[in-house]
Amino acid sequence: MEFSPAARLLLERRYLLPGETPHDLFSRVASAVGGPAKSREFFSLVSNLLFLPNSPTLMNAGTPSGQLSACFVLPVEDTLEGIFTSLAHMALIHQSGGGTGFSFSRLRPRGDVVNGAVGAASGPVSFMRVFDAATGAVRQGGRRRGANMGVLAASHPDIEEFVTCKQAGGFPNFNISVGIDERFLRCLETGGEYDLINPRDGSVWKSIDPGSLWRLIAASARASGEPGLLFLDEINRRNPTPHLGSIEATNPCGEQPLYPYESCNLGSVNLARCIRKHDLDEDLLATTVRSGVDFLDAVIDVNRFPLPEICEKTLATRKIGLGVMGFAEALIRLHIPYESGEALRFAGSLMEGVQAAARERSEEIGAQKGSFPAIQGSVYTGDMRNATVTTIAPTGSLHLIAGTTSGIEPVFSFAYNRTIDGQPVSIVSDLISEFLPKTAGGRDVAEHMRRYGTAEGLPLDTHARDLFKTAIEIAPEHHVRMQAAFQKHVDNAVSKTVNLPESATVDEIARVFSLAHALGCKGTTVYRYRSRPDQILSLGCDVCRIDG
């Protein structure tokens, strides 16, 4: 096993137990998850970097903690007791290595009555500050800071305060998303007024111009990258277990919609390792997907859940989220430009195959071991072990360990620095040395890429220039179309950022939002270059910094 300096440092700081080697790590994880029957298969799967499970599995499998899931959603009920119960549960989950999502939409608005006293309620944003401060005090598994997603329905009376709450550096431990419903979108289209509803009693708090709120969301996203949008009606239209109720929140990166107290464990297939002689090895991919489903399903059975409520809800649906990483590298190895119709067609065909293989394997396990208990009333008519099988995660740390590109994102930069627990590490993509000397002049090109992180400005032919476009050079509409191409064949949701140039306008961001909804995405997130003073990723090794 060979790892880059960044991957080795990341493994040492966050994943390896004292005295452990990467070989030991993969052996520990494979044995803990697979047991005698599957440990050899699972060791081959992870040690060859064909598939990696989410970070808590790598950190905690085979340890006293034993908490292996990454994604959780907790309820936030409109009582002081309920709020602080969820706060305590959040701390336990963060301590075990998981991330949490919350819908704050059930909390009464600022200034509403409490126990008959007018003007006493402080509102959801005020309580989010409490959750944010608590998160900062609890490190995940003692190794990294916890992460949260805060969701507020567009119809909540405090929505404007929520939309702007992260500007000026507020809420560093939260991602935030506005929950958009079809009523809002109809009012936006027709120009009708949109009612904001007090969740305490269902009364109309006030009516607003939906266009003004839409522009406020887009303006805030331009200023700080947040909020994102969750299209809650689309999420629930495609919810495989509608009889269990409506879904209101997701995990911290938005790719995993969940009910309160549900958890999900994720894992990603390394597509770059499935390219053989400039072609996709479909047999290897299908075999890896099937083994990945086996792995993730086994995690549920050996998992030590942090709360009995989470154990109950998770076992009822047995949701797993198998996804992919290394998509951009795979495209480059196939000589397919990311910003092309061919890439969109390849993405759809690829994920359709992954989805089919994953569902087939889940059906087989369901026939052998039993379907998920809540299957009665679900969309499934036959055996199915897992209510969901596919998710596209961001693979923020996993892609570095695997030595490939993150999730389904394009290459952001071919050269950058990453700070891992205070130590900076320079990262330069191997794709530079592998491909550029063949297309244009060698050492000078490699030095240019190392310094600037992009091929822009080099005397390349048209195809090579297109092949090495970085995220910020790709049209925003294409980012959205790529997300939609994957979402069509994904049970859960897709983590994808629409990268925008520094010059992007509010109107352009609003158009991204509208296109994402029109194409059936379950949510969308934008990031305008340099919109934050503490930007975590910048082009070129000489100017960039990425926080771990």
Catalytic residues: 251, 253, 255
For 1-69, what is the HEC assignment? CCCCHHHHHHHHHHHCCCCCCHHHHHHHHHHHHHHHHHHHHHHHHHHCCCEEECHHHHHHCCCCCCCCC
3-state secondary structure labels for all residues of 291-335: HHHHHHHHHHHHCCCCCHHHHHHHHHHCCEEEEEECHHHHHHHCC
> Which CB contacts under 8 angstroms, 24+ apart, belong to 328-331?
328/405, 328/408, 328/409, 328/410, 328/411, 329/271, 329/272, 329/404, 329/405, 329/411, 329/431, 330/271, 330/272, 330/274, 330/275, 330/280
What backbone phi and psi angles, to 5 degrees, belong to 375? -70, -30
| φ, ψ (nearest 5 deg) of residue 485 | -60, -40
Q: Quick one: 200 exposed, middle or buried, by C-beta within 10 A (0-12, 13-18, 19+)? A: middle
Count of C-beta atoms within a 10 Å radius of residue 88? 11
Q: Which helix (H) or strand (E) holds 280?
A: strand 279-280
Burial of residue 110 (CB within 10 Å: 0-12, 13-18, 19+) is: middle
Q: What is the 3-state secondary structure (H, E, C) of 367-413?
A: HHHCCCHHHCCCCCCCCCCCCCCECECCCCCHHHHHCCCCCCCCCCC
Count of CB atoms within 10 A of residue 456's CB?
Answer: 15
Give the N- to C-terminal CA distance of the chain in Å, as an integer: 23
- Rounded to the nearest 10°, the torsion over CA 132, 136, 140, 145 is 100
Contact between 284 and 274 under an 8 Å Cβ cutoff? The reply is yes
Q: Rg (Cα) of the chain, in Å, rounded?
A: 23
Instruction: Annotate 58-78 with b (16+ C-beta within 10 A) or e (fewer).
Output: bbbbbeebbbbbbbbbbbbeb
